[in-house]
Amino acid sequence: MNINELAVGKNALIERYRSNTVFSERLMELGLTPGTRITLVRRAPFSGPIEIAYGHLRLALRPAEGDGIYILPV
């Protein structure tokens, strides 16, 4: 499942990225490596961005970016 399918308030582990792109490399530089535990904090209305929390950080992602991030719910 991808990160956009996660329910608000639920936790998951980053499993993998769809492909090795500049964006996925940037996420890994920010600490979102496979095995990182994340929480979906909130969803903007009208198919807007999602906010995730991991460690002491928060990050907003567009839905198109979230489609390429695969997770394992915990």
- Residue 15's CATH number: 2.30.30.90
pLDDT band, very low/low/confident/very high, at 20 (cuts 50, 70, 90): confident
How far does Cα 8 stand from its chain's mean position?
Answer: 12
State the alpha helices, DSSP H only, in 1-74: 22-29, 63-66
Nearest CA-CA partner of 24 in 15, 36, 33: 33
How far does Cα 66 stand from its chain's mean position?
Answer: 6
**Percent of the chain at pLDDT exceeding 70:** 100
Least confident of 7-11, 17-21, 59-63, 65-69: 17-21
* Contact (Cβ atoms closer than 8 angstroms) between residue 24 and residue 31: no
State mean pLDDT over 33-38: 96
According to the model, what pLDDT value does residue 19 have? 84
Number of domains in the chain: 1
